Amino acid sequence: MKFEKRNFLHIIPAVICFITIVPFYLQSAENKVALVQACDPDNFQLPANRALYFGILFIQMATYVGATWRLLKEKQESTDGRTFKNRHAVFKWLKFFTAGFAIFLACYLAVFALFLFTSFYLYIALFTLLLFPAFLIHSVGYWTIKESVIVNGNGAGSSNGRYQGYKLTNSKANNLQRQLLDLMETEKIYRDSGAGLLEISKRLSVNPSYLSQLVNEELECSFTDFVNSYRIDETKRMLTDKKYDHLCLLGIAMEAGFNTKNTFTRVFKRHTGQTPSYFRKTQS
């Protein structure tokens, strides 16, 4: 990964923050205690320079949150589902964390405004700003345990010991993977609605357990997600091609290998974050 010089700009706020607090920590312990004890919560006034500093800090954090959310949306729409292990759970977790931090910033702004323009009690402001991060940390911890894919990689793409009795050598795995990809990309077998694990195993003359093991361990997704990712790519291509404007969504879904419109809509939204009708509308 190339590290450009402009990336050092991200460090500037941290450097400024460090410089502003260094004078306080260089003082003697007696002076520090005296400063803290001299603080009257009922008559505390935030210096103008510190108010400006915290305002700039808020703008910086809000900018990063907005950029993160936009990046997550772009990456989720552009990832095809065959190279990112458990991508849906990961994106869901990252969006949850980003949204939580955005809510924290909103609380920060509200308390900061009250603190500047009203006689808001200092300790209440501090407790309010500390309470929400604590809640956010516990929520992230709970979500991390709930979505075990974040902790140990368990999920749709994990074998979980199911294939301990099956062994695929590197040469066999590479050969089988090459045949499978050729079957999907050249012959486009996924357009057959009956192209499931058993059918494709027969076409490749391989045990279904070996094929399932290959997709789970080498391609890092479930076999159903693997096939559906090709179908979704096909429907996206058709939805943006004027040649298929005469087809309704069900017609396009069936052309790509889906059996029902409900299944197509559910899978399409899970892969792209959009409904097929909305995707078609934005593309047109």
pLDDT digits (tens, 9 = 90+) for 72-94: 777 655 444 444 445 566 677 77
**pLDDT the model gives residue 81:** 44
- The CATH fold assigned to 170-283 is Arc Repressor Mutant, subunit A (1.10.10)
Contact 147, 139 (CB under 8 A): no
pLDDT at residue 82 in the model: 41
CB–CB of 235/256 below 8 Å?
yes
Judge whether 81 and 222 are in contact, CB under 8 Å: no
Domain ranges of the chain: 5-152, 170-283
CA 257, CA 232: separation in Å to the nearest integer?
A: 9
pLDDT at 50 over 70: no
Yes or no: say if 135 and 164 are a contact pair by the CB < 8 Å rule: no
pLDDT of the residue at 153: 43
Question: Model confidence over 93-130: pLDDT tens digits?
Answer: 778 778 878 888 887 787 777 776 766 666 666 666 66
Give the residue from 198, 200, 205, 279 showing the smallest Cα distance to 235: 279
pLDDT at 154 over 90: no
Measured CA to CA, the distance from residue 202 to residue 171 in angstroms comes to 20
- Identity (one letter) of the amino acid at 187? E
CB atoms within 10 A of CB 154: 15
User: H helices then E strands: how many in the chain?
Assistant: 13, 0
Q: Output the six-digit token pair for 211.
A: 């094929």
Rounded to an integer, what distance in angstroms lies between the CA atom of residue 90 and that of residue 149?
8
pLDDT of residue 41: 59
Please give the structure tokens belonging to residue 227.
Answer: 């096939």
CA separation for the pair 111, 118 (Å, rounded): 10
In a 10 Å sphere around its CB, with 0-12 CB exposed, 13-18 middle and 19+ buried, how is residue 243 labelled?
A: exposed
Q: Which residues contact 100 (CB under 8 A, 6 or more apart)?
A: 136, 139, 140
Residue 137: CA count within 13 A, CB half-sphere? 6
pLDDT averaged over every residue in the chain: 76
Higher pLDDT: 175 or 36? It is 175
Cβ distance 51 to 116 under 8 Å?
yes
pLDDT digits (tens, 9 = 90+) for 232-281: 999 999 998 888 888 899 899 999 999 888 889 989 998 888 899 989 88
Q: What pLDDT shows up at residue 39?
A: 67
Listed residue (249, 284, 277, 270) closest to 77, CA to CA: 270
Is the predicted pLDDT of residue 185 greater than 80, yes or no? yes
* Contacts for 215 with CB less than 8 Å, ≥ 6 apart: 180, 221, 222, 223, 226
Cα–Cα distance list, 190 to 40, 137, 174, 210, 218 (Å) = 71, 43, 21, 19, 19
